[in-house]
Amino acid sequence: MAKYQPFRTVDLPDRTWPDKTIDTAPIWCSVDLRDGNQALPIPMSVDDKLDMFQLLVEIGFKEIEVGFPSASQIDYDFVRRIIEEDRVPDDVYIQVLTQARDHLIKRTFESLKGAKNAIVHLYNATSVLQRKVTFDMGKDEIKQLAIKGATLVRELIPTLEGTHVRLEYSPESFSDTETDYALEVCEAVMDVWEPTRENRIILNLPDTVEWIPANKHADQIEWFCRNMKHRDRAIISCHTHNDRGTGTAACELAMMAGAERVEGTLFGNGERTGNLDIVTVALNRLADGIDPGLDLSDIPRIRSIYERTTGMSVPPRQPYSGELVFTAFSGSHQDAIKKGMDRRRAVNDPDARWEVPYLLIDPKDIGRTYESIVRINAQSGKGGVAHVLSRDHDFELPRSMQPDIGALSNKIADELGRELSSTEIFEAFEQEYLRRETPLAVKRMSFSYVDNGVDADGGPSKQSLQCNATVTYDEAEHQIEGVGNGPISAFVHAMEAEGWRDFRLTDFHEHAIGKGAETEAVAYVQIEVPDGRLFWGAGVDTNIDLAGTKALVSAFNRSRG
């Protein structure tokens, strides 16, 4: 199509960045209070900005772009307030943005008086489109604007007595500027500012509009780093947007290509499709076993403050941060997650290697709970339902029993047309297994030992267990009794004496739930009826003998439909 043409970037056939790995976290700079704020339908109030600033400090950002004080009175007042109220920690640099225009630069310096540490961030547009459409200026004119602005910045630094000033320059829309020309302008600014190895300039190379694929952006960064003079006197910074949906990839490939610093916002708030999501890139480092350098251990709280102060919402599928990112509805996914979590519990080592299918990181490491991992709807499977019953209610269902309750839950979710809560799943389990009282219901039951006499070798006498029970069968009351080598066996013989036994026991499991005086026994019994069908039952009681017989009655009643 003639209407759209790819932007031509540098030719770098010997690129090296694809063979690089990211093994350290970058320098992080939050631009939530400037770039993020300017993208809000209703910009943050000063109080909201204060809350956001405090959050960014708590997370661990050491460089925070706090505003565009020459362009907004609110931004100017905010910068003055955090300085005058001594809200900026000694190890944090506040960054302010200004265009390369004299009156804006002067106003910016006025806003910084009294600051301990500050980064003055100068920029001007350099891209082909900006030169052609916005400014109608040639390359040399654009470069002279940058030089003139940089010169004034240098002259004004002494006016900030007692402030440690660092300098940053951005050729706006770097990614759609000819890379050799962007380097020419940046080096012209460096000539004015004369950075040293000890006091390096920040050269921010923004992907202001994501015109090019992420790999081409990495080529630009590597070419720039290779060809610039005095590479050791500059910190290369990237600032990617997300117009092509690959802002995170563009940032990470840029880091592989030489970028040491990253600008972005919490959850990617920004113009159009947004800025880089710093939370995603930082937690990608965590997933790779690298300290991200930011405290993201309570994502729900961070998200809550962000949503309150910005009025924005974090999408439910936002990587790491969204409400549903650790949630599985698919049955096969749920089964794999349950197995992984069960295996991890058995290892019982919080520092053991994370190996849970479908979960990139442990949700608890970022303040998420396990309750949201598995949620049940009509697409869910046996493993998911079993996981919920285990996680929330301590019922450890035998594997061959799980398809039954899984199918039941799916049927209910399908009929309701929605997700089932944990409570609803347990209520369905109770109704189906623990409260099945027809046709057979036990009213009273007791066990006593009976003497069997001598054994076949004339040895000492042995004892069996006798069951005496009051039951109703098809609503008629019966007194029944039977003898066996255990409580379930005795009860089965009692049923057999009444002519009710047309099954055989095929499986039995038991475990305890609760602790101390609240401990109960749970039993699971499987029976097989003459046509080969298998039925599971479950029973709960403080007495393990009664729990087993209740489970048998549950299975019997389920076999009767």
**Domains of the chain in sequence order:** 19-310 (3.20.20.70), 331-434 (no CATH), 440-559 (3.30.160.270)
Lowest-pLDDT choice from 160-169, 246-255, 468-477: 468-477
Q: And the tokens for 113?
A: 């008086």
453 pLDDT higher than 60: no
Beta bridge partners of 203: 169, 236
Q: How many CB atoms lie within 10 A of CB 380?
A: 28
pLDDT of residue 528: 94
310 pLDDT higher than 70: yes
Torsion angle of C-alpha atoms 192, 28, 33, 221, degrees rounded to 10: 50
The percentage of residues in the chain with a pLDDT greater than 90, rounded to a whole number, is 76
Q: How many CB atoms lie within 10 A of CB 353?
A: 8
381 pLDDT higher than 70: no
pLDDT tens, 385-398?
A: 888 888 889 999 99
How large is the average pLDDT for residues 321-329?
A: 85
Instruction: Give the global pTM.
Output: 0.77
pLDDT of residue 376: 63
556 pLDDT higher than 80: yes
SS3 527: strand
pLDDT of residue 452: 63
Going by their DSSP bridges, the two strands 476-484 and 117-125 should be labelled as: unpaired
Residue with tokens 């990112």: 325
Task: Show the CA angle centred on residue 127, arms to residues 248 and 101, nearest 5°.
Answer: 105
Q: What's the chain's Rg over C-alpha atoms?
A: 35
| CA separation for the pair 134, 432 (Å, rounded) | 71
Question: Which ranges of 86-233 does DSSP label H, i.e. alpha helix?
Answer: 102-111, 128-129, 139-156, 179-193, 214-227
Q: pLDDT class for 414, splitting at 50, 70, 90?
A: confident
Residue with tokens 């000890």: 198
pLDDT tens, 47-58?
A: 999 999 999 999
Q: How many CB atoms lie within 10 A of CB 123?
A: 20
Q: pLDDT class for 274, splitting at 50, 70, 90?
A: very high
pLDDT of residue 6: 85
| CA separation for the pair 189, 528 (Å, rounded) | 85
450 pLDDT higher than 90: no
Residues 206, 246 contacting (CB under 8 angstroms): no
Q: pLDDT class for 374, splitting at 50, 70, 90?
A: low
Torsion angle of C-alpha atoms 343, 345, 349, 352, degrees rounded to 10: 30
Q: Which of 525, 515, 518, 526 is closest to 548 using CA atoms?
A: 525
Q: pLDDT class for 460, splitting at 50, 70, 90?
A: very low
How large is the average pLDDT for residues 503-511?
A: 93
SS3 136: coil
pLDDT of residue 119: 98
**What DSSP letter does each residue of 239-290 carry, written as one string?**
EEB-TTS-HHHHHHHHHHHT--EEEEBGGG--STT-B-BHHHHHHHHHHTT-
- The chain-wide mean pLDDT, for the chain, equals 92
More confident call, 369 vs 114:
114
The CA–CA distances, whole Å, from 299 to 356, 364, 449 equal 20, 10, 60
pLDDT of residue 348: 86
How large is the average pLDDT for residues 248-276?
A: 97
pLDDT of residue 514: 84
How large is the average pLDDT for residues 76-104?
A: 97
pLDDT of residue 457: 52
How large is the average pLDDT for residues 208-215?
A: 95
150 pLDDT higher than 90: yes
More confident call, 510 vs 387:
510
Residue with tokens 């095929």: 506
How large is the average pLDDT for residues 150-157?
A: 98
Q: pLDDT class for 410, splitting at 50, 70, 90?
A: confident
pLDDT of residue 371: 60
Residues 55, 278 contacting (CB under 8 angstroms): no
Residues 287, 360 contacting (CB under 8 angstroms): yes
* Counts of helices then strands in the chain (DSSP H, E): 17, 14
Neighbouring residues of 2: CB distance < 8 A, sequence distance ≥ 6: none
Lowest-pLDDT choice from 299-308, 420-429, 533-542: 420-429
Q: Which long-range contacts (CB under 8 A, 24 or more apart) does 458-467 make?
A: 464/490, 465/489, 465/490, 466/490, 467/491, 467/493, 467/494, 467/549
Lowest-pLDDT choice from 177-191, 227-241, 475-489: 475-489
| CA separation for the pair 75, 31 (Å, rounded) | 13
How large is the average pLDDT for residues 144-159?
A: 98
Question: Between the ranges 76-90, 331-345, 417-431, where is the mean pLDDT highest?
Answer: 76-90
pLDDT of residue 454: 46
Residues 511, 396 contacting (CB under 8 angstroms): yes
| CA separation for the pair 38, 49 (Å, rounded) | 12
Residue 278: φ, ψ to 5°: -65, -35
How large is the average pLDDT for residues 330-358?
A: 87
Q: Which of 287, 162, 182 is closest to 225 using CA atoms?
A: 182
Burial readout 508-525 (b: 16 or more C-beta within 10 A, e: otherwise): ebeeeeeeeeeeebbbbb
Residues 30, 63 contacting (CB under 8 angstroms): yes
Residue with tokens 């099954």: 503
pLDDT of residue 462: 63
| CA separation for the pair 85, 385 (Å, rounded) | 54
SS3 481: strand
